[in-house]
Structure 1
Amino acid sequence: MKNDLPDVAALEALLREQRQAYLRAPYPSWETRATHLKTLRAMLLDNSDALAEAMNADFGNRAKQEVLLAEFLLVKGEIDGALRHGKRWMKAQRRSTNRWLLPARVKVVPQPLGVVGIIAPWNYPVLLAAGPLISALAAGNRAIIKMSELTPRTSALFEQLVAQTFQRDHVAVVNGDAAFAAAFSAQPFDHLLFTGSTQVGRHVMRAAADNLTPVTLELGGKSPVIVGPHARFDYAVDSLVTGKTLNAGQTCVAPDYVLVPRGSEAAFVARARVQMAKLYPDFARNRDYTSIISARHFERLQRLADEASAGGAQLHELTDTPGDVASRRFPLIAVTNAPDQSALMQEEIFGPLLPIVPYDTLDDAIAYINARPRPLSLYLYDDDAATIERVTHETIAGGMAVNETLMHLACESLPFGGVGASGMGAYHGYEGFVTFSKMKPVLQQGRLNARALVAPPYGRRFNALIKLMMRF
């Protein structure tokens, strides 16, 4: 789809078609849902090579191995988890009844919401389209997915595969530009999930508000790292460089800046250079390193580095090969002494630039993080239990990993979502099922009950009874 009136009209018609189909079958059985999940898994795994090739073409270079690891393995794990647990998630949950409502029985009944809208980004197009879809299907919904225009080959192939696999009134993919995405977010979905930047997330939320559409916003922000005083330093640096360079840093949960004990900055840079050589030998010809998605994004990263350098920052190139505009290969660069007010330290980087910020005490590191918008992820490298406890409880982030980066996202039993400027709501696993369900509270009163005792007209009997009730 392209952005013109007929395509928006077609989107509106598609939404009506899916909603009518939902009303004909509003509560699919677990067997039906499981069949849908298995069908999706087969479609993705059978076409993983073709989708990886499309992604490689869209990026300019993205290794098939990285795609399989970072997208398809996670999607398969999410589906397998839903198949293991989904039948239990569907069951009504018994709740306790307070004494004054007896003999009533109460429960919470999960119900499908209806039609879910999903807006997927370009950086992990399969994972971030299929991941929310898994939760939506497990919860019994229908879905329309808007793919990114920055990955046109992947988006077109995904649309084709979904059309071949699912009925259009069940799951459909639409494609179009940013203006069409704005029209998409303004549709009266029963729930809308958006993954992307905080700036665009604000527009999505405004558009959804006109229909009072509930939203889940998976945004970004500057995810910090603390290399603690008791960290295994070399391990921490190696792990951070590995996480930061996955997809060339074009990851919403990528480490954005690193807080290190003052005086260890040079050691960090030296070790990071060793790790880069180990991960990506012969960098100029290495095919494992992903290209930046577009010339515009490459120029943005170069501008961030140049502005910081002009403000007094030192740029430490961690390979012997400079960036290449033609191939959009941007090597990892560590940055020290970046001015706090530089764009590098204010904006989400979303690429292979890594500011290093020294701290004197753990109190200072925690205060530095808490003085900034709440991040999507927070990483701590330290083996001291008291330090881990402090950072866990004294900071707020969408998610946290200790002695690791990124991998909390790969755990399908953990909810994934932001907080504050990094997003709202969560999905994955049971939390994804709940996000795309109406957890309906139901009270069923018994035939013989005391409801009449607290009904008007109010008199001595009521006054005595309410006095008794208030005592307990």
Structure 2
Amino acid sequence: MAAAATTPAGIQTLLDAQQQAFNREGAVSADTRKARIQQVIDLLVDHCDALADAMGRDFGEGADGGRPRAFSIMNDILGSLGSLKHARDHLEAWMAPDQRTPFPPYDQLGGEAQVLHQPKGSVGIIGTWNAPLFTLFSPLACALGAGNRAILKPSEVVPETAALVAELVTTHLDPEVVAVATGDAEIGAAFAGSAFDHLVFTGSTAVGRKIMQAAAQNLVPVTLELGGKSPVILGKDADVAESCRRLAIAKGTNGGQICISPDILYVPEAALEQVISEFTQQFRALYPSVEGNPDLVAAVNASHLARVEACLDDARERGVRLVSTHPESTGATRKRPVRLVINPPAESRIMQEEIFGSALIVKTYSAIEDVIADIQSRSRPLALYYFGQDRAEEQKVLSHTLSGGVTLNDIMMHAAMHEAPFGGVGGSGMGHYHGYEGFLEFSHARTVFRAPEYDPRGEWGMLPPHHDQFEAMMRAQVTRD
């Protein structure tokens, strides 16, 4: 029972044990929830360096790995700790019953009503490779804060990290509270098809559809954190230099391998060459070189790199203009400069797929309405970004587009907020985690009505046998007021 599950039968054994323990336990006190969250916090703090090293090895290449230790600590360790500590420090207020007003006349007769936010049971959490700890432990914070138990499924694309997470969790945590399942796509499919009380998946839209289909067989509610082609709009009065600086910071983060990384940059036609020049300069200031640069994150593996390069090759074959921030790599490593793809046709591969790597589409426009129409023509993105000081134009963009979240005059900042929900819409997902909304996501809102001692329905002629005027009494209440 203490080992991580590596087979469908093992997953079922862990799930049965957790659900049985949940049923035995009953109400989960705030102190118990805090203690469970604190155990996860302690695990991450105590093994921070080992986990960062594992992530670096998974991204490969050289003694320092393909991802800087500092970035792994910042993105995955500190990001997870922020979610866990926020839940720990706020869950008592979240747990308070939500008092509601009973319907009349019971509100005058002593009736009482409230909504209790109760845990669902065992939550399955499927993480992804680009943020291998954060996509496990950030939703876990909300799940434990809501009083649930959980089984984690790390991505098989990062096997070193997955193995270490399994070892640490099974060694330091009670498997009836938090457990781990590891394995390939076959194990992932069995995990998604298990009868959890809630299922969380972070990953691609294509896989998200399969996850939802599998969960539907057991009527398991799902939270899907997907992606899409998140747009950046440079308004006509935007500060080009500062906008490109912030865009370069975002596009370099994790080598572009982030679900809210920008995919498409819309720029006014007259500003195209200035934007290309400014972005290139800003990115080179952050990353003066590519190969051997310890600050630049590599593509996670050869197949993911090949997919991005195939998208770029397709654009070249179509005669699309490409501009690289640096001389093209010799291919000795998986680190790449950002390639700007200027005005590719709609049918090109890079316009059809989420990039998730070191490339950025740049599209020119003459009217903001054209930008909005182009965004509306595709699936809802996980994030949208707008740079500019024209509040009327900003409001037009916000009111005529729909995305999971928005950052104005910067990129990716909204996802760092613990006090606001993070989630997608349409093709970019459903449901939320982070903060109070995450607590609600993993809770069952249970209405409880306490009836008064006095029941007047018989005196009012509301009970059988009905008198001749009963229908007239009912009909008289059908009004527009």
TM-score by length of 1: 0.96
SS in structure 2 of the partner of residue 307 of structure 1: helix
Matched, 1:379 2:397: no
> Where does residue 128 of structure 2 map in the other structure?
121
In the TM superposition, what are the counterparts of 1:368-447 in structure 2 within 5 Å?
368-447=374-453
Report Cα offsets for 1:396-420 as digits up to 9, x if no partner. Answer: 0011110111111111111111111
SS in structure 2 of the partner of residue 335 of structure 1: strand
> Where does residue 141 of structure 2 map in the other structure?
134
Matched, 1:459 2:472: no
1:154 to 154, 161, 167: 161
State the AA in 2 paired with 1:284: E
> Where does residue 74 of structure 1 map in the other structure?
79
1:278 to 281, 285, 293: 285
Distance 2:270 2:455 in 1: 73
Distance 1:182 1:441 in 2: 34
Q: Check 1:410–1:324 CA distance in 2 against 1; reply closer, same or farther (3 A cut).
A: farther
> Where does residue 112 of structure 2 map in the other structure?
105
> Where does residue 91 of structure 2 map in the other structure?
86
State the AA in 2 paired with 1:41: I
Segments of structure 2 that go 5 or more residues without pairing to the other structure are 61-65
Distance 1:172 1:123 in 2: 21
The two structures, once aligned, show a CA RMSD in angstroms of 1.6
Report Cα offsets for 1:73-126 as digits up to 9, x if no partner. Answer: 222221222122210111110112222443322110011000100110100001
SS in structure 1 of the partner of residue 333 of structure 2: coil
> Where does residue 218 of structure 2 map in the other structure?
211
SS in structure 2 of the partner of residue 143 of structure 1: strand
1:258 to 258, 262, 265: 265
The count of residues paired between Structure 1 and Structure 2 equals 468
In the TM superposition, what are the counterparts of 1:242-253 in structure 2 within 5 Å?
242-253=249-260
Q: Which 10-residue stretch deviates more, 269-278 or 445-454?
A: 445-454
Distance 2:329 2:415 in 1: 29
2:150 to 143, 148, 167: 143
Report Cα offsets for 1:220-270 as digits up to 9, x if no partner. Answer: 110011011121111111111111110000000000110111121211111
Contact 1:251/1:350 (8 A) holds in 2 = yes
> Where does residue 18 of structure 2 map in the other structure?
18
Report Cα offsets for 1:53-73 as digits up to 9, x if no partner. Answer: 100000011011211222222
**Aligned-residue identity in percent:** 40
State the AA in 1 paired with 2:96: K
SS in structure 1 of the partner of residue 270 of structure 2: coil
Distance 1:133 1:397 in 2: 24
Distance 1:422 1:295 in 2: 26
> Where does residue 63 of structure 2 map in the other structure?
none
TM-score by length of 2: 0.94
SS in structure 1 of the partner of residue 199 of structure 2: strand
State the AA in 1 paired with 2:323: H
Q: Which 10-residue stretch deviates more, 451-460 or 73-82?
A: 451-460
Q: Which 10-residue stretch deviates more, 90-99 or 208-217?
A: 90-99
State the AA in 2 paired with 1:412: H
> Where does residue 220 of structure 1 map in the other structure?
227
Contact 1:312/1:337 (8 A) holds in 2 = no
